[in-house]
Structure 1
Amino acid sequence: MATEAVATSMAEDEKGRKPVAKRWRFMPLLLIVAGLGFGYAMGWHRYLTLDFLGDSRLALKAFVSANPIAAPLGFTLVYAVAVAFSFPAASVLTIFSGFLFGWLFGGLLAIIGATMGATVLFLAARTAFGGFLKERAGGAAARLSQGFERDAFSYLLVLRIAPFIPFFVVNIAPAVFNVRLRTFVVATLIGILPGAFAYAWLGQGVDSVLVAARRAGRQVAVGDLVTPEITIAFAALALVAALAAVVRKFWMRAI
């Protein structure tokens, strides 16, 4: 009787802990949402614009020159935090990086910061939703989940290269489809390389555009810097990655 009572008590404790654990699993994602709302309430998003860069370019350049170690480390951290909290400023921050540090070093800093922030958001989403679709969805959704898991690297690579889907969406979706962390990090790191260096290159030459915009009395936008040639290049890169995924799939079937 005593053994049965102990077993019953343990089972009840386990049942009581499960709802609590389910509630706590959403905490990281809730913190990110709260942080995003707090950032907007504090007006921090105004510092992640080309207008701020135009107003503060001389001061920022002077700060970078005076702090050759702290400046790149701080920038990388700011970039990671902005991505983790889903501020829509990845392209602008990459332009910042090229302007402040040059296209090569700035591009590398942007890649590191973006990968770090994306990984934090991915882990938060996986904690909240990991396995949810796989366990509860059926039919087409279940097949999509299985297909994404089988060829997640190729899918992610295409989504990262093509800048047509919001960056934060591509950070969250793989977590819902139960993609492995290693696959997510490697595909993100490789996939954002072309875009990071392209936008950093734009940033390296952005000074003249900012000065011209200020003289004309208008705001400058990312669209003023992105040429049709760069847009076509991104589309071509995404097409190449997609074709590679298709060829790989048919090759594996043939084997």
Structure 2
Amino acid sequence: MTPNDTPAPKPTPLAIRLWPLYVIAGGIFAAWALGLFDYLSLETLRTQQDALRGFVSEHLFLAVAAYILIYAAATLFMVPGALWITIAGGFLFGLIGGTPATIIGATLGASLLFFAARTSVGTALHERAGPFVKKMERGFQEDAFSYMFALRFLPIVPFPVANIAPAILGAKYRDYAITTAFGIIPGVLAYTWIGAGLGATFAAGEDPNIASIAKNMVPAFAALGVVSLLPVAYKKLFAKKAAKLEGAS
């Protein structure tokens, strides 16, 4: 071995490179152990509405900042129940205040999850990806905007999957942040609006049928997902026609 021949550094073991998963799993376990999931319900808003609204009235800036951080943490740790946090945002801050606060919190948390997946977990998964995933990656990068908007709109795609998949498929963060912030607007508006009307619903002694409302919104979100994929379909169809014309000439 000559003096210039330096041994290649040993790759970091996979178990160590997957540390973000351990952090996320630890966060979810801690939330479960502390019983935080029990607070994500309409009953909590009903019983604590005076205290919560009183705090918002006296400490508006602090309440909004705390809400954004809570939403970001819930998104980062993939805590089930973000829907209830969105509704709570509408209940506490109204449609005008709750919508931007939720969008900021969700985008912040999704961004942190994106970077976590991109720096370690995503790299490890990408190295072990088969031909199908690599082919899907090429198609994704041809029109990343359309694909990422579709991930946000299609009801069958869970929110954590829409946050992590673009990082693994090589999306640029700028495109990811834009499609996240704008892609979640329809859903955020819908559930924040529900939350904004809870005060009157509680006063009337009624419970909103969240499941029925969500079911009615599925066709609209599915339509948005299909529309977002039209540019992809057009490009593929146009490319095939162009190839046929070139072959015939």
TM bin, normalised by shorter chain, reads 0.7 to 0.9
* 1:245/1:198 CA distance change after superposition, 3 Å: farther
1:251 Cα shift? 5.7
Verify the 8 A CA contact 2:99 2:189 in the aligned structure 1.
Answer: yes
1:43 Cα shift? 0.9
1:111 Cα shift? 0.5
Q: What is the aligned-residue RMSD (CA, Å)?
A: 2.6
| 2:12 is aligned with 1:19 | yes
* 1:181/1:73 CA distance change after superposition, 3 Å: same
| 2:229 is aligned with 1:237 | no
Verify the 8 A CA contact 1:206 1:225 in the aligned structure 2.
Answer: no
1:227 Cα shift? 6.1
Which of residues 164, 172, 179 in structure 2 aligns to 1:187? 179
State the aligned residue count: 242
Q: What is the distance in 1 between the residues matched to 2:214 and 2:203?
A: 17
Q: Find the counterpart in structure 2 of residue 56 from structure 1.
A: 48
For residues 142-194 of structure 1, give each alpha carbon's deviation from its aligned partner in whole angstroms, at most 9, with x where no partner exists.
21121122222211101112233211121122222222222211111110011
| 2:119 is aligned with 1:117 | no
Verify the 8 A CA contact 2:83 2:191 in the aligned structure 1.
Answer: yes
For residues 50-83 of structure 1, give each alpha carbon's deviation from its aligned partner in whole angstroms, at most 9, with x where no partner exists.
2211221121111100112111111011100011
* 1:208/1:243 CA distance change after superposition, 3 Å: same
| 2:240 is aligned with 1:246 | no
Which runs of structure 2 are paired with 1:137-148 in the superposition (5 Å)? 137-148=129-140
Q: What is the distance in 1 between the residues matched to 2:166 and 2:109?
A: 15
Verify the 8 A CA contact 1:158 1:238 in the aligned structure 2.
Answer: yes
* 1:59/1:26 CA distance change after superposition, 3 Å: same
| 2:99 is aligned with 1:107 | yes
Q: Find the counterpart in structure 1 of residue 159 from structure 2.
A: 167
Q: Which moved more, 1:219-228 or 1:185-194?
A: 219-228
* 1:30/1:134 CA distance change after superposition, 3 Å: closer
Compute the TM-score of the two structures, normalised by the length of structure 1: 0.83
| 2:135 is aligned with 1:155 | no
Question: Which amino acid in structure 2 is aligned with residue 11 of structure 1?
Answer: P
Q: Find the counterpart in structure 2 of residue 206 from structure 1.
A: 198
Q: What is the distance in 2 between the residues matched to 1:205 and 1:97?
A: 11
Q: Find the counterpart in structure 2 of residue 82 from structure 1.
A: 74
For residues 4-28 of structure 1, give each alpha carbon's deviation from its aligned partner in whole angstroms, at most 9, with x where no partner exists.
3x545x416x23xx236x5543222
Give ranges in structure 1 of 5+ residues lacking alignment.
none
Question: Which amino acid in structure 2 is aligned with residue 234 of structure 1?
Answer: F
Q: What is the distance in 2 between the residues matched to 1:202 and 1:149?
A: 36
Verify the 8 A CA contact 1:99 1:206 in the aligned structure 2.
Answer: yes
Question: Which amino acid in structure 2 is aligned with residue 19 of structure 1?
Answer: T
Q: Find the counterpart in structure 1 of residue 21 from structure 2.
A: 29
